[in-house]
Structure 1
């Protein structure tokens, strides 16, 4: 499909630079698969929008301070690195600003005495960085790194102390993401309590979101776009419980596109889940037949993005573009710190 089919005009003042407080005070647009009117709700209305027995699936990844600023050793060339994907204990794939000034085997010097060697250049322009020393890379990042806010926020303001908490979900346990699973940012203890009272079940999986989630689609046609890969885990116990829920006819609703992508990667053609541990580069566009999920809670996405294509695959392109036009007209807040939507095909 032509990428231009997923374009829309978004006023810049609709891009949320801060989350609402409290988190669960965000608005939520409910979009159903039939042609019923869109429903303007709030995130706190989520329990009443779900059925007892529904299963919400959350991503428990934790964002690491993966944004580094430094220079090339032996020169004054300033570079910035955003870690993208862990390769092993000391090596990370990274998108590097001013990468043309970096040669293979160059040493890069970051703050706090943190150094890395540029080992390999990849086809997408990223570099493999091998961190020097014996300290765990997580310790080095705590010393030298900052929270990697999305580009559309970072271009408008700097990272500050508030982001250390604002850009983590209440489910964040497994360090490794360089972008938050933002649909879960809206959840609070009181919302979880209300969901429990409604009889809505919860499961977690782990998908370490990479910086590739923010990369623009440069191809003119979706067939020519190369999707980034991300590492994920669904345990045997979680897969078993999800299969039991499906056997009992209960709906499985992903909280966030990251959860959805991993669920779809782990689902067989007969809609059975298998345990999963490894990389997924699944690219979901209209025409895809969903095997793992019955619904999705997600924020509002960028024009011509892979995530807008994903929600269009779930609900239909015309339906989603109409929903986005409604959201713009009703002044919903967009992107990572913005409002939410509940998509029920």
Structure 2
């Protein structure tokens, strides 16, 4: 007998095996815990599926136990063996029920108080504590998982998870992100007041204009793209890489031969052009003799880097844009 993972008939077969194995054990745990059985594609491996068992350990504490299985045909014997191991896993989690629920309750209370304080400061942040998804081999290390949704450098909410054994773990995590979180939250508030959803570095805008990219469409497309970076074309013979830095859409690209912009600085080969420290406070376009850059940024620092290069740090005002990618001047 074999099973395939593409229909209700096969799921009924899996459920039947689970009920039969549970009956052999002389228990009614599956019914009591309302265990739900399913199969889903693996997020990590194309050639694998995941056999899942979902249940509630307690009120508001869902758990999903999963184990990787091969796609295609799998013998009933192999499937029964996997199901037996997973039922062992359900029983192991259930044996720790009181300890885990008490731990989760304490962490939830502490997290709620912490997030209330952060939100009073203006932070965009929320969070939960639970057990989440557990791979069968990770059961011995089962511990509460904190899921935090908070504002990142692209001014959008992202979820991050970490294991917490003590309330101090939550404190440490929040302490590590607090400065950036408050900065991004304040930045977003300012932009919202202007009807904006983001901002773009003026030198990236310059690169898009020089490359004859459709501005609104390109900005909107990247704003909606949640990848950390993207190569969107060529600029001065080099790749034009776009990403976010400190709440501003920016990138890495060439400005001229031997001159490259990155994040909020310009790197030059000294053999092409040597910039004195007295250039600090001056217009970048005039110092580099690139008229199209005039008025877009001011040099804030001049670093004499090693290896024949030097770096110019910039002071530039990002330009807000709305949800359609149109600039707000």
TM-score, normalising length from structure 1? 0.21
Larger Rg: 2
> Which structure dedicates a bigger proportion of its chain to helix?
2
Bigger relative CO (Cα 8 Å, ≥ 6 apart): 1
Pick the structure with more strand per residue: 2
Normalised by the length of structure 2, the TM-score is 0.21
